[in-house]
Amino acid sequence: MRCLPYWYCRVRSFHPNFGIDRLDLEGDGLESSSVRAGKYLNDNVFIGVERGLNQGSGKVSVEWELTPSVTVETEVNEGNNSSIGMNWKHDY
């Protein structure tokens, strides 16, 4: 199976060797690019660390799945600004 783009194949095979469950590359340009790595602490709790190219762009987040439909997300960035949110989803 051939992966396109090539770097995606390298990232996908890279992260299990470091004990992380998710490795995401995000952004639509050089200035908005970031990398996020994280680990599931159990089936319902995920902790992640994100870092962008800009100074002060780092943050830590925790996602807690209360039910299959309800998720609580918290986040703290480098400036000690924090947020909390609750997401609800429904599949039709």
Least Cα distance to 48 among 30, 68, 32, 64 occurs for 64
Show Cβ contacts of residue 85 under 8 Å, excluding neighbours closer than 6 positions: 72, 73, 74
Q: What is the mean pLDDT of the chain?
A: 82
- pLDDT reported for residue 16: 57
- pLDDT reported for residue 15: 53
- Read off the pTM: 0.72
- pLDDT reported for residue 19: 80
- Give how far the C-alpha of residue 66 lies from the chain's centroid of Cα atoms, to the nearest Å: 18
For the chain, list residues with pLDDT below 50. 1-9
- The string of pLDDT tens digits covering residues 45-66 is 999 999 988 887 899 999 999 9
